[in-house]
Amino acid sequence: MCVKILIITDVETKYIFVTGGVVSSLGKGIISSSLACLLKARGYRVTIQKFDPYINIDPGTLNPYEHGECYVTVDGHEADLDLGHYERFTNVHTTRANNVTTGRIYQSVIDKERRGDYLGKTVQIIPHITDEIKRNVKLLGQTGNFDFIITEIGGTVGDIESLPYLESVRQLRWELGKNALCIHLTYVPYIRAAKELKTKPTQHSVKQLQEVGIQPDVLVLRTEREIPSAMRKKIAQFCNVAPDAVIQSVDVPSIYEVPIKMHEQHLDEIVLNKMDVPVNGEPDMHQWMHFLDKLHRADKTVTIGLVGKYVELQDAYKSINEALLHAATYNDHKLDLRYIHSEKLNESNVKELLRGLDGVIVAPGFGQRGIDGKFVALKYTRENDIPTFGICLGMQCMVIEFARDVLGLPDANSVEMNINTPDNVIDLMEEQKNISNMGGTMRLGAYDCHLAADSKAAKAYGTTDIKERHRHRYEFNNDYRERFEAAGMRCVGENPASHLVEVVELPDKRWFIGTQYHPEYSSTVLSPAPLFVDFVKAAIEYHEAENLENVAECNA
């Protein structure tokens, strides 16, 4: 699949809309990301945006049980977790322009109405809301930086809240002509009792789309089983779609196989042909194939425990999960990720629950619930020298546990958990103290960090100056810094402007590092996060050392 191609940059911006039908969570984000991956591998400049129909301004105030992980862009926007997929598949940074909610659309329209921009006219869904949606759709295209802009419409066709977006897509299809295309993702269920695949849900879904004036150009059929060609032709006939534009998306072991499966069915070529763009050669996927080859060839396993309070919902830690998979793959290992509920972890069961782990990640989060279990886990891993990685609140818990059990400050805490703590080793950031609105007001986005040259963190990154993304209100209290460092916990990373401590580590341990920032957000298939790669490497070395020790004991 590796063929040298010409980079094409003079193509008029093309808009591809991805809608979904039948049921939610079919994987519109993965299909969008896979197509973007293929087009980018052909030399085109591609970005993806997500339009979410909920009225929240952004997912920053949503409970992870409601919406999964809140992803953070480099410019500090709290975004839908699908933007993480976009970046992991394309290796291109997203911004606030890549994620728009109904809340933002209505807020913008209401602000304009209050300013008098509409000159006293009655403000309505059509044209005012739809015009605002269309303006946001085309915003990225007006920069001239992209050849293709893929727009994923959240929700499912037939949802009331999605109707303004679909109407906007209908209008744009007419306005943009050949520069617009619609891909519709539907579900073809397999009825086990009848031993049959059923096409009616797809037919009804397309009919609903047609009823609002949109004829899909391409159908992608999500399915657990192979769909016979005769059935795909039947679907094409009933849905007014060309037979070669009906593509199946069969479940695969890894989401990173989806671009290859889509290319095997010529999705990228179909899109280019339908948009009157010449198809030149093959996409250059050699780096992607290298990753998949390592993923499939790995015959050893590294076992990582993730301690958090949202482990019932794995999407709450989606970026961490994927960063660990990238790191394990590039270390030539399979990942065995075990979720450990911090609310159920205590001193009586910690040894049992952490048994057999090669490394432990203490997850980010907010609030008191489950915090004591994180302290117990950290004390155990620190005393038993198990590779440990604390992220955001996980790093803060490292600091608190160390203060209590090493510095001898039994009441040390974060003011988030106890505003009256006598030893506020984690304090509210100064600029956060007068903030009352919770949405979009944390320390958000990418900030510079300078690492001590002799630190393990600097060694992992291969440099002393980095930039990583933040999402927090509380920080390490520098009033305690000398006491921590005298006792062995080094503050090896800080923001050069504010002197905010961003990385702590215990240099006398195999690997015991905490970061105030979120390195998982920057991990992609082609550029795995260095700190995760180094953490997993340390976990593998620990596993091998433990095995050697066990063999020696048996021989003795």
Which residues are annotated as catalytic?
A: 392, 518, 520
CA dist., res. 272 & res. 274, Å (int)? 6
**Closest to 279 (Cα-Cα) out of 287, 290, 291, 268:** 268
DSSP letter, residue 227: P
Dihedral angle, C-alpha 455, 516, 313, 92, nearest 10 °: -80
Contact 262, 256 (CB under 8 A): no
Look up residue 435 and give its two tokens.
Answer: 């903030």
The angle, 0 to 180 degrees and rounded to 10, between the axes of the packed helices 267-274 and 28-41 is 80
**CA angle at 507 for the pair 476 and 549, rounded to the nearest 5°:** 130
Residue with tokens 């003011």: 415
Task: Report DSSP letters for 162-220, one per residue.
Answer: GHHHHHHHHHHHHHHGGGEEEEEEEE--EETTTTEE--HHHHHHHHHHHHTT---SEEE
Look up residue 349 and give its two tokens.
Answer: 């069961």
**Closest to 315 (Cα-Cα) out of 10, 24, 95, 91:** 24
Say whether 282 sits in a helix, a strand or coil.
coil
3-state secondary structure 338-402: EEEEHHHCCCCCHHHHCCCCCEEEECCCCCCCCHHHHHHHHHHHHHCCCCEEEECHHHHHHHHHH
User: Strands 388-391, 359-362: parallel, antiparallel or unpaired by DSSP?
Assistant: parallel
**Closest to 399 (Cα-Cα) out of 478, 456, 452, 343:** 478
User: Strands 301-308, 246-250: parallel, antiparallel or unpaired by DSSP?
Assistant: unpaired
CA dist., res. 510 & res. 539, Å (int)? 9
CA dist., res. 179 & res. 186, Å (int)? 23
Residue with tokens 């391409």: 218
Look up residue 276 and give its two tokens.
Answer: 């009157």
**Closest to 246 (Cα-Cα) out of 263, 225, 270:** 270
Dihedral class, residue 370 (left if φ above 0, else alpha if ψ from -120 to 50, else beta): left
Phi/psi at 489 (nearest 5 deg)?
Answer: -95, 110
Residue with tokens 């993304």: 469
